[in-house]
Amino acid sequence: MDKTLLILAHGSKAQSTTEVIYQVREEIAKRNLYKDVKMAFMEFNHPNICEAFDEIYKEGSRQVVAVPMFLFEGNHIRYDIPEELMKVKNAYPDLEISLAKPIGFDKRIADILIERAAEKLWEI
């Protein structure tokens, strides 16, 4: 596949948070579904969205699926990310960008929460 997947994350001052996000990126990359899997952060970390797209473009990718690693449709999803993507489209008119929905509700999240709770039941 010729498309690049760009994971959009919030970012954090906590290094452990960033490490988890990169673990998710590595897991997706191992599946070889995309030409490349990149990361971009809204705050605190680099690359930001524009920096990530600069790199993607330099590497020759012209089709990008941007997927937010956000549960909810907050301000970053509604306003900030579309605004940043518009800047990118203006800078690289031949770049095709598709923005996926945030995670939202998914039964698998409930399964994970139940599993995490079960791990701690013995402590109560």
Give catalytic residues, as residue numbers: 10
- Axis-axis angle for helices 49-58, 81-91 (nearest 10): 30
Helix, strand, coil percentages for the chain (3-state, nearest 5)? 50, 20, 35
CA distance 5 to 73: 20
Confirm if 25 and 7 have CB atoms less than 8 A apart. Answer: yes
- Identify the CA nearest to 38 among candidates 106, 90, 97: 97
